[in-house]
Amino acid sequence: MSANAPDFCRDKSCLLKVIRYHLNACRVDTNEPVLVVGGEQEDFDILSACDFKQIVLSNIDETGMVLDAENIALPDNSYPVVFAHAVLHHCRSPQKALGEMVRVSQKHVFFVEPNDSWALRMLVRLGFSFPYELAAVAAHEYTRGGMRNGPIPNYIYRWTGHEARKSVFAYHPELRLRVRAHPYWDFYVNECELLKRKETRVAELARKMGTRNFIHSLHLAQKLLNLLPPLRMQGNKFFCAISKGNLHPWIQDRDGQCFLNKETVIRRNLDVMKYSEGEGEK
């Protein structure tokens, strides 16, 4: 089996549909450069399929520019778009990495991560999913693939829209930010990956049903579950789009530094409520 074989059977159609929808909703110009944090060839292929022309890959120690997601060595507003696919849960501090992505973006940040829902928590309890990403380290001969791409299996940090809003609002309290959260079902996996998940009941089911039949069943299930919003919200995947706006009206820029605008202090409570409630998850 070739090195690229594990990706060959992955069905990217659901992921591409979600990305394209939000690119259109955010009015993203795909002719502008996009920085990929933790980028690999797979990310290049995904973004190329979404019509991006200038794709800059970065990683902590492998692909493209050497950049640490938790401390991105780039100036503020370096790239129009910043993208990360299944990267944040490998960080020691996923919230900090997301804040850094927003900092270096000019306009938009997009990321894909595991979703946090009662359905996923139940699957973890029943042994069909797992709290730590053991399989990723095992797949890399126990030397990398875990936390910060090292040999220690990372905890799988799962997101919600509320969690994303809290993280970016805390990291950038001076900015007006719009967060669009999109949880959904997407069993983005191939036969080889299924069988490597020996610590869960998934591999056992795949062996009994046959991996190909099992994957077909998963794809049928995801189509049905994504039809109804209440069921889609319980999905295993979480796509998030963050759009950067201007400074809050109670913030003033003085020679590149932000300060509280004295003229808005008297009515600040009203303004804070208006803008914090009006620009959250949609």
pLDDT of 166 > 90? The answer is yes
Is residue 84 in some structural domain?
yes
Q: Which two tokens stand for residue 50?
A: 């979404």
47 has a pLDDT exceeding 70: yes
pLDDT of residue 272: 57
161-166, Cβ contacts within 8 angstroms, sequence gap of 24 or more = 161/240, 161/280, 161/281, 162/281, 163/116, 164/98, 164/240, 164/242, 164/281, 165/280, 165/281
Q: What angle do CA 177, 73, 249 make, to 5 degrees?
A: 25
pLDDT in tens, 222-261: 999 999 999 999 999 999 999 999 999 889 999 889 998 8
Q: Which is nearest to 20 in space by CA: 49, 43, 41?
A: 49
Rounded CA-CA distance 211/192 in Å is 9
Q: Which residue in 81, 58, 45, 55 sits closest to 149, CA to CA? A: 58
Q: Is 23 helix (H, G, I), strand (E, B) or coil?
A: helix
Q: What is the pLDDT of residue 207?
A: 79
Q: Within a domain: residue 268?
A: no
pLDDT tops 70 at residue 109? yes
Report pLDDT for 2: 35
Judged against a pLDDT cut of 70, whether residue 106 lies above it is answered with yes
Give a yes or no: residue 16 inside a domain.
yes
Q: Is residue 170 part of a domain?
A: yes
Which CATH number fits the domain that encloses residue 183?
A: 3.40.50.150
- 2 contact partners, CB below 8 Å, separation of at least 6: none
pLDDT tens-digit map of 79-99: 999 999 999 999 999 999 999
Q: How many domains, in total, are found in the chain? A: 1
278 located within any domain: no
Mean residue pLDDT of the chain comes to 88
175-230 residue pLDDT tens: 999 999 999 999 987 767 766 666 667 777 877 888 888 888 988 999 999 999 99
HEC string for 172-197? CCCEEEEEEEEEECCCCCCHHHHHHC
Domain housing 43: 5-247
- Residue 39 placed within a domain: yes
The H or E element containing residue 277 is helix 268-278
Residue 263 lies in a domain: no
The verdict on residue 266 lying in a domain is no
Beta partners for 253? 258
CB 122 within 8 A of CB 75: no
Report pTM.
0.89
